[in-house]
Amino acid sequence: MNTAASPLLEAKGVTKYFGAITALRNVNFHVNSGEALGVVGDNGAGKSTLMKILSGLYQPSEGHLIFEGRPVHFSSPRIARNIGIEMVYQDFALAGNLPIYENIYLGREPGIRVGGLTIIDKAKAREMAQAHLDKLKIHVKSVDQPVEELSGGQRQAVAIARATAFDAKVVIMDEPTAALAIKEVGKVLDLIKTLKDHGVAVIMISHRMDDIFYACDRVMALFHGANFADSPLGKTNRNEVIGWIMGTKDHTAQLAHDRVH
Amino acid sequence: MISNNPGLSRFLESYGIILVVIVMMAILYATQPATFLSAGNLSNILKQNAYPAMLALGMFVVIITAGIDLSVGSVLGLAIICIAVADKAGTPWPLVLLVGPLVGIASGLVNGLGYTMLKLPHPFIMTLGTLNIARGLTSLISQAPISGLQTEVRYPGQKVFDLGIFTPPAGIPLSFFLVIACAVGLWFFLNRTNMGRHIFAIGGNPQAARVSGIDVDRVLVYVYAICGFFAGLAALLLAGRTDSGFPLAGVGNELDAIAAVIIGGASFFGGRGTVLGVLAGVLIMGLLRNGLNLNNISPFWQQILIGLIIIIAVYIDVLRRRAATRK
Ligand SMILES: Nc1ncnc2c1ncn2[C@@H]1O[C@H](COP(=O)(O)OP(=O)(O)OP(=O)(O)O)[C@@H](O)[C@H]1O
Ligand SMILES: [Mg+2]
């Protein structure tokens, strides 16, 4: 990994309050181009909150973000998307009433601009969606199917398709394999590798050690809303990472091992 | 059985409502063969339902977002009084024609901005407020009806084309063509433009819209402005038809508009419905009234029937939604 240049995306001293709850406390974060970063932590550790800050859905209460060496402020997901940060949300964030292809291009419909509106080129949107899904080897009956008719795994796939339909520089995936059958898990992990090979920074939250150790270069752990550990994958092992998730650091291999189901 | 056949169920979902209209017309024809299909009665139905259709089209846009606009009846009242006052003040007719839509858009902007900027829990609250405010303003402007408008101002609501085949006053009302033009325009906007699709996305899942980079609040402001615009057009048509502006115009009409939209198959939960369905919903309410009138059935029964139909329509929506989420 190229450590001399500044990271592609950085967060410095990020704190996030939700009313009385402190979801994140002085968290530092970075990811490089072409790097796959695994983010782990217990339920409620603040993983999703940190990612939503990176994707512009939430604004940090304190701290700031740096993209390509320049300070940035994302007042909405649109701004983050415009500079190339995409996110696959834990709950997919798809509009069930709309067909697959509309979900993929929602907010960025192809067509001709007339005044403040875009007259959508539906044929082109369908075609582009189909081509993109083919590229990702995602099979659906028809891109016209409403998303609410899809299975959990198919929805996951559509959410991933949306995040990769435009040339993203950073793709954040919040538990992308949670809803998937084994075969699909492999596809998603391979997709992460492909993205990485194309120089995309991929951030994956996962509770599954198999996913992290298969697809990632580095892993970082959050514990109770704070940085806990950060290590290249080669310098750690599953048990140690599981220990981090539970908030234990040293000589935990045995303990962690006992607690793996 | 219907659920076992997706093709049939989709067909019924899209066009079932048209079947209902046809069946109603057949029943009306059977009970009143002489009057129902007379040119006079049919043109009356079209004329009477033009302004409710405008209100319903506007309400539809709001309901797609899972919102509601209770103020459209009052906004119609405010707009119609402003039209009459402007007309009486000697304003040139092209400007008077603009008064209704402008008052409507302004009221809609108040609704949309108020709802989004104050972060009220539901548009019900904001529009209940403006329902009262607009009606109060209307009465402050004039407590008495103002009649006798310029010909050109009356034109959109009153003109009937006999096309050389009908005997006046029968004929195809201009207001009917205006409704069709608005419906086609709205259909295009909702189905072919990005903002139209964003409106549907907001109704389906506002969070999905937000993370897709859609400025949900901004779109909602447009939505309420569009709804107000249609209420203003409705005022123009009613002013023309009655040749007046009267302070009680539109009282309770918001409920008819909501009923028509829901009967037409739009979902109260948002994200679902068609322009064609809305027009059918308006027609169903109109035919029901017409049929009961022709058969000398008391208007109280009309109310009871419309109430039942609303409950059934929403129940069908609930069933449909349950079927969808079960998958
Ligand atoms: N919108 C919100 N409002 C209030 N509290 C929130 C909100 N979002 C998150 N939190 C709180 O912040 C903390 C961190 O939540 P977060 O969703 O980031 O956890 P997570 O690490 O993603 O957990 P999981 O593995 O269960 O997805 C939790 O205590 C949660 O209750
Ligand atoms: Mg989470």
Summarised one tens digit per residue, pLDDT across range B115-136 is 999 999 999 999 999 999 999 9
B208 CB neighbours in chain A (<8 A) are: 93-95, 103, 106
Q: How many domains does chain B have?
A: 1
Residues whose CB falls within 8 Å of the CB of residue A155, separated by 6 or more in sequence, listed in order: A92, A94, A147, A179
Per-residue pLDDT, B199: 98
User: Does residue B218 lie within any of the structural domains?
Assistant: yes
Contact B48, B42 (CB under 8 A): no
Q: Tens of pLDDT along A70-122?
A: 999 999 999 999 999 999 998 999 999 999 999 999 999 999 999 989 999 99
User: Does residue B183 lie within any of the structural domains?
Assistant: yes
The string over B145-173, giving b where at least 16 C-beta atoms fall within 10 Å of a residue's C-beta and e elsewhere, is: ebeebeeebbbbbbbbeeeeebeeebbbb
Contact B252, B160 (CB under 8 A): no
Per-residue pLDDT, B241: 95
**pTM for the whole structure:** 0.92
CATH topology classification for A9-96+167-258? Rossmann fold (3.40.50)
Mutate to test the pocket of ligand 1, among A15, A17, A21 (most ligand atoms within 8 A of CB): A21
Residues whose CB falls within 8 Å of the CB of residue B5, separated by 6 or more in sequence, listed in order: none
pLDDT digits (tens), chain A, 261 positions: 444 568 999 999 999 999 999 999 999 999 999 999 999 999 999 999 999 999 999 999 999 999 999 999 999 999 999 999 999 998 999 999 999 999 999 999 999 999 989 999 999 999 999 999 998 888 899 999 999 999 888 998 899 999 999 989 999 999 998 878 888 888 889 889 989 998 999 999 999 999 999 999 999 999 999 999 999 999 999 999 999 999 988 755 555 455 544
User: Does residue B235 lie within any of the structural domains?
Assistant: yes
User: Does residue B261 lie within any of the structural domains?
Assistant: no
Ligand nearest to the CA of A24: 1
pLDDT band at B4 (very low <50, low <70, confident <90, very high): low
Please give the Cα distance from B263 to B288 (Å, whole number): 12
Residues whose CB falls within 8 Å of the CB of residue A95, separated by 6 or more in sequence, listed in order: A102, A103, A106, A147, B200, B201, B204, B205, B208, B209, B271
pLDDT above 90 coverage of chain B, percent: 75
Dihedral angle over CA of A163, A169, A170, A176, nearest 10: 40
Structure tokens at B215: 């400025």
Mutate to test the pocket of ligand 1, among A14, A16, A18, A205 (most ligand atoms within 8 A of CB): A18
Q: Count the Cβ atoms, other than its own, within 10 Å of residue A214.
A: 18
Cβ within 8 Å, pair A93-B208:
yes
H or E element, residue A117: strand A117-120
Chain B residues interacting with chain A (CB cutoff of 8 angstroms)? 192-195, 197-198, 200-201, 203-205, 207-215, 271-272, 324-325, 327
Closest ligand 1 atom to Cα of A49? 18
Residues whose CB falls within 8 Å of the CB of residue B211, separated by 6 or more in sequence, listed in order: A55, A57, A77, A87, A89, A93
* Percentage helix, strand, coil for chain A under 3-state DSSP, each rounded to 5: 35, 30, 40
Q: Tens of pLDDT along B98-109?
A: 999 999 999 999
What mean pLDDT value characterizes chain B? 92
CA distances, B127 to each of A77, A168, A229, B227 (Å): 29, 41, 52, 12
Give nearest CA residue, ligand 1 atom 1: A18
Q: Which of B200, B211, B325 sits opposite A98 (nearest CB)?
A: B200
Q: Is B167 helix (H, G, I), strand (E, B) or coil?
A: coil
Tell me whether A93 touches chain B (CB under 8 Å).
Answer: yes
Q: Tens of pLDDT along B238-295?
A: 999 999 999 999 999 999 999 999 999 899 899 999 999 999 999 999 999 899 888 8
Please give the Cα distance from A56 to A141 (Å, whole number): 33
What residues does each domain of chain A span?
A: 9-96+167-258
User: Does the pLDDT at position B317 exceed 80?
Assistant: no
Q: Count the Cβ atoms, other than its own, within 10 Å of residue A43.
A: 7
Which residues have CB under 6 Å of ligand 1?
A 18, 21, 23, 41, 43-49, 90
> Which of A51, A78, A85, A98 has the most B C-beta neighbours within 10 Å, making it the best mutation to test the interface with B?
A98
How many angstroms separate the CA of residue A231 from the nearest CA in chain B? 30
pLDDT band at B7 (very low <50, low <70, confident <90, very high): confident
Residue B224 belongs to domain spanning: 42-253+268-273
